[in-house]
């Protein structure tokens, strides 16, 4: 799922060749044109920039000829720089754009420079990143350069930059090339993206681009750069292994541009270091924007000692159980810190719940990209490869982080609390200079874990992610002023982070405070089930409650369980079923049987679970632990390939001796009915769940205010 979909899309056709474009942020005053790079990629290489820029500016992206939705001509002359410049002009004309800030990376940097030199009247400003402009720097010392057009005996390294090698094995070249682009450690996702984009074109197209006409001398290059008169910014990574940083320095010197060197970055900093690049782009566009595009604004500064204590609380959107526990902690925090003001940054359906309990949702929440919708888009028939789904949420995390950072920069918050706010925790460790307040990280699991059928590749990737997190905490321990584990040490899985990496439990005990589990409600207060059932109007018949959380990921499980109801009722006389579909599931699409009541939302779900004779749920932690706390029998169906539910949650429930784990793929109606009968007769002799978790968590947070 994209962080932002285009407001409109189209294509311009010149000399019979179509070039596709997308427009984002229609109505914003200043246009940013993100130029196409080499045909080895398409416009998705700007995915981390588009949603951030488009909240303030109008953004146009182009699939350059040779990739994406654009045509792939075979004539090398079709890939001349002048052709891309003419395509860009045609797109500006087509979209009614008089002037734009033009931004280009690598070969796109070459095209940006050519555009600015040839069309000063259309260029508001130019950002030239990692420019692939020849004749400006000597070759890399020590690198062997091979003929492009000859058959070679060597079949590795830079010998793969060869037309015959491309035709013979394009994936092999792609893997080598992107390994040279992303020299930064822990760049597995960016590397995979690059290889995938390369394979969306073909070897013959890339060969044609390699023979495209270009500059013939240094003098020609310098003369073109000297014609650039608009404000210009050059961005270049010092560890660029594709284009020497000396090229970027030369371009800046010739054009009189500002120069931003990214020390330690490689050739594609817009992908690997998107936060710093986005910050630089926004600052540049704001500086060169037309005066009439600037809007007057009023600001107020309050003396520090006159300010109320303020907390920005980020609550995870994946399930409402997180929200209930977060609200419980927030209420305890207000008891401890007089007058503290708490703003919530959250997404639907969490925002609806927060509003219903009179919590203050920050207006900026409307700008957040919905993570629940992304997770739903990644799920299929009760199967969700959670690790990969989160990896593919990268552009959404960049977009959402930028919103949080703006609030922190302007909101004078004393404390930011992130309940599994992966974007904040990751990007503040990657950019620790951006942290301006105390920060508390909160989670109920630690460690990305591979599943058996993921093989060596998944084991390598999860270990790499874990290693990066360990390195982050070791190097920048100051980023997390507090790290809270929602549970006890024995709830942490007894696994290692990966080969050669520490034990997860031992590492977690060194780096976290344990607050015990937080249910978000008082289990003792609803222990009398007869009184509770009368209050809820549930009657005396046996009742099973079915719920799968706040997203639509569990809709397949709902269908299977509801369809199994007639079989259950044969085993349990008079059985009734209450199905809580959640706010994102279409209740009308669920099957209907006498004795089954289906509701979209139940505000007091924990009370209904406590009053039930049994429950059937997904494998999420919050719902299952609510059942443990209220000592109710239950069946739980972990999502397939969901490492947290399959390993972290399952470990915790086994420790408590609670519930029966079921496999969705191999379970039929008879199995569900038999398991339900068994659970109805169980003693529910679970380990007790702590009832002071919210208070303990609030005590740890109050120390930061």
In a domain, 690, yes or no: no
In a domain, 239, yes or no: yes
CB atoms within 10 A of CB 402: 22
What is residue 292's predicted lDDT score, i.e. its pLDDT?
62
The torsion angle over the Cα atoms of residues 326, 329, 335 and 337, rounded to 10 degrees, is -90
Return all residues near 190 (Cβ < 8 A) that are at least 6 apart.
178, 182, 268, 271, 272
What's the Cα-to-Cα distance from 579 to each of 322, 546, 586, 608, 624, rounded to whole Å?
20, 5, 12, 11, 16
Tokens of 111: 């095209």
What is residue 374's predicted lDDT score, i.e. its pLDDT?
87
In a domain, 298, yes or no: no
Report yes or no: 199 and 170 within 8 Å, Cβ to Cβ: yes
Closest CA to 652 of 489, 408, 453, 448: 489
Residue 412, sorted as left (phi over 0), alpha (psi -120 to 50) or beta, turns out to be left
Closest CA to 135 of 192, 209, 218: 218
CB atoms within 10 A of CB 392: 17
Q: How many domains does the chain have?
A: 4
Query: Would the pTM of this model clear 0.85, i.e. be above it?
Result: yes
DSSP string, 330-390: HHHHHHHSTT-EEEEE--TTHHHHHHHTT--B-GGGGGS--HHHHHHHH--SSB--HHHHH
CATH number at residue 665: 3.40.50.2000
> What is the domain range of residue 182?
157-209
In whole angstroms, what is the distance from residue 493 CA to residue 504 CA?
A: 7
Average pLDDT, 10 consecutive residues per value, the chain (705 residues): 96 98 96 98 98 97 98 98 98 98 98 98 98 94 93 95 98 98 98 98 98 95 97 98 97 98 98 98 93 72 89 86 92 97 93 93 94 86 94 96 96 94 97 97 97 95 98 98 98 98 98 96 82 89 88 86 94 93 78 90 88 95 94 96 97 97 96 93 92 96 98
In a domain, 481, yes or no: yes
CB atoms within 10 A of CB 630: 26
CB atoms within 10 A of CB 480: 21
> Is 463 found in the same domain as 360?
yes
In a domain, 637, yes or no: yes
Helices 81-94 & 107-118, crossing angle to 10 degrees?
70
b/e per residue 24-34 (b: at least 16 CB within 10 A): bbeebebbbbb
In whole angstroms, what is the distance from residue 630 CA to residue 622 CA?
A: 12
Domain end, chosen from 261, 293, 325, is at 293
In whole angstroms, what is the distance from residue 650 CA to residue 646 CA?
A: 6
Tokens of 302: 């309050």
CATH number at residue 64: 3.40.50.1820
Edge-first strand listing for the sheet containing 543-547: 596-599, 576-580, 543-547, 614-618, 634-637, 660-661
> Is 609 found in the same domain as 506?
no
What is residue 550's predicted lDDT score, i.e. its pLDDT?
65
> Is 513 found in the same domain as 434?
yes
> Is 284 found in the same domain as 250?
yes
Query: In a 3-state reduction of DSSP, which class is residue 261?
Result: strand
In a domain, 149, yes or no: no
In a domain, 1, yes or no: no
> Is 573 found in the same domain as 552?
yes
In whole angstroms, what is the distance from residue 273 CA to residue 271 CA?
A: 6
> Is 576 found in the same domain as 557?
yes
What is residue 294's predicted lDDT score, i.e. its pLDDT?
67
> Is 331 found in the same domain as 278?
no
> Is 554 found in the same domain as 459?
no
In whole angstroms, what is the distance from residue 16 CA to residue 97 CA?
A: 23
The torsion angle over the Cα atoms of residues 3, 188, 421 and 510, rounded to 10 degrees, is 180
> Is 221 found in the same domain as 205?
no
In whole angstroms, what is the distance from residue 640 CA to residue 665 CA?
A: 8
Domain end, chosen from 293, 312, 331, is at 293
β-strand pairing of 17-24 with 58-63: antiparallel
Edge-first strand listing for the sheet containing 17-24: 8-14, 17-24, 58-63, 31-34, 100-105, 123-129, 232-237, 258-262
In a domain, 685, yes or no: no
> Is 580 found in the same domain as 645?
yes
What is residue 266's predicted lDDT score, i.e. its pLDDT?
98
> Is 657 found in the same domain as 586?
yes
> Is 501 found in the same domain as 396?
yes
Closest CA to 315 of 550, 475, 488: 550
In whole angstroms, what is the distance from residue 630 CA to residue 612 CA?
A: 10
What is residue 427's predicted lDDT score, i.e. its pLDDT?
98
Closest CA to 614 of 681, 563, 533: 681
Return all residues near 402 (Cβ < 8 A) that are at least 6 apart.
51, 52, 55, 275, 278
Report yes or no: 551 and 372 within 8 Å, Cβ to Cβ: yes
């Amino acid at each position: 799922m994209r962080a932002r979909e285009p407001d409109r899309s189209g294509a311009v056709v010149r000399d019979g060749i179509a070039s596709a474009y997308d427009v984002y942020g229609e109505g914003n005053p200043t246009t940013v044109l993100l130029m196409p790079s080499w045909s080895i990629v398409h416009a998705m290489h700007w995915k981390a920039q588009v949603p951030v820029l488009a909240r303030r500016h109008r953004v146009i992206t182009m699939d350059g000829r040779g990739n994406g939705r654009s045509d792939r001509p075979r004539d090398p002359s079709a890939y001349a720089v002048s052709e891309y410049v003419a395509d860009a002009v045609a797109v500006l004309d087509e979209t009614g754009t008089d002037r734009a800030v033009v931004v280009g990376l690598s070969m796109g940097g070459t095209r940006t420079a050519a555009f600015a030199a040839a069309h000063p009247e259309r260029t508001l400003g130019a950002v030239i990143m990692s420019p692939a402009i020849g004749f400006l720097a000597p070759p890399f010392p020590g690198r062997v350069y091979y003929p492009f057009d000859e058959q070679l005996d060597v079949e590795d390294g830079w010998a793969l930059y060869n037309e015959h090698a491309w035709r013979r094995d394009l994936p092999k070249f792609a893997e080598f090339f992107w390994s040279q682009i992303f020299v930064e450690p822990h760049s597995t996702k960016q590397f995979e993206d690059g290889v995938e984009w390369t394979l969306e074109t073909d070897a013959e197209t890339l060969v044609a681009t390699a023979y495209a006409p270009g500059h013939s001398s240094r003098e020609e290059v310098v003369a073109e750069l000297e014609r650039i008169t608009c404000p210009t910014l050059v961005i270049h990574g010092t560890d660029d292994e594709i284009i020497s940083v000396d090229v970027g320095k030369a371009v800046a010197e010739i054009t009189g541009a500002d120069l931003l060197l990214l020390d330690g970055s490689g050739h594609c900093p817009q992908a690997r270091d998107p936060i710093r690049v986005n910050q630089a782009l926004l600052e540049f566009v704001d500086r060169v924007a037309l005066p009439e595009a600037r809007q007057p604004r009023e600001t107020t500064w309050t003396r520090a000692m006159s300010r109320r204590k303020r907390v920005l609380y980020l609550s995870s959107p994946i399930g409402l159980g997180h929200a209930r526990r977060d609200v419980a902690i927030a209420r305890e925090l207000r008891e401890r810190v007089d007058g503290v003001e708490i703003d919530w940054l959250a997404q639907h359906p969490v925002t609806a719940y927060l509003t219903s309990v009179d919590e203050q949702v920050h207006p900026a929440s409307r700008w957040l990209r919905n993570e629940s919708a992304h997770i739903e888009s990644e799920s299929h028939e009760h199967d969700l490869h959670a690790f990969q789904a989160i990896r593919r949420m990268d552009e959404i995390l960049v977009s959402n982080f930028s919103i949080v950072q703006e609030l922190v920069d302007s909101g004078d918050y004393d404390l930011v609390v992130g309940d599994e706010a992966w974007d904040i925790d990751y990007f503040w460790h990657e950019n620790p200079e951006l942290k301006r307040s105390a920060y508390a990280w909160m989670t109920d699991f630690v460690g990305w874990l591979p599943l058996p059928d993921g093989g060596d590749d998944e084991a390598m990737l999860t270990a790499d992610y874990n290693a990066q997190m360990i390195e982050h905490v070791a190097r920048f321990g100051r980023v997390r002023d507090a790290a809270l584990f929602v549970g006890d040490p024995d709830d942490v899985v007894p696994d290692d982070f990966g080969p050669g990496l520490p034990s997860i439990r031992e590492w977690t005990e060194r780096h976290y405070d344990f607050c015990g589990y937080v249910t978000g409600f008082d289990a003792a207060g609803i222990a009398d089930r007869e009184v509770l059932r009368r209050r809820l109007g549930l009657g005396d018949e046996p009742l099973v409650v079915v719920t799968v959380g706040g997203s639509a990921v569990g809709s397949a499980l709902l269908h299977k369980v509801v369809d199994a109801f007639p079989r259950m009722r044969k085993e349990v006389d008079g059985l009734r079923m209450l199905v809580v579909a959640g706010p994102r599931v279409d209740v009308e699409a669920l099957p209907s049987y006498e004795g089954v009541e289906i509701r979209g939302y139940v505000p007091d779900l924990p009370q209904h679970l406590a009053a039930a004779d049994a429950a059937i749920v997904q494998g999420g932690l919050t719902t299952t632990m609510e059942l443990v706390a209220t000592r109710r029998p239950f069946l739980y169906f972990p999502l397939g390939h969901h490492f947290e539910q399959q390993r972290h949650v399952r470990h915790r429930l086994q420790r408590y001796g609670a519930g029966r784990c079921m496999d969705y793929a191999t379970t039929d109606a008879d199995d569900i009915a038999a398991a339900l009968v068994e659970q109805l007769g169980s003693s529910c002799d679970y380990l007790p769940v702590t009832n002071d978790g919210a208070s303990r968590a609030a005590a740890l947070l109050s120390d930061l205010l």
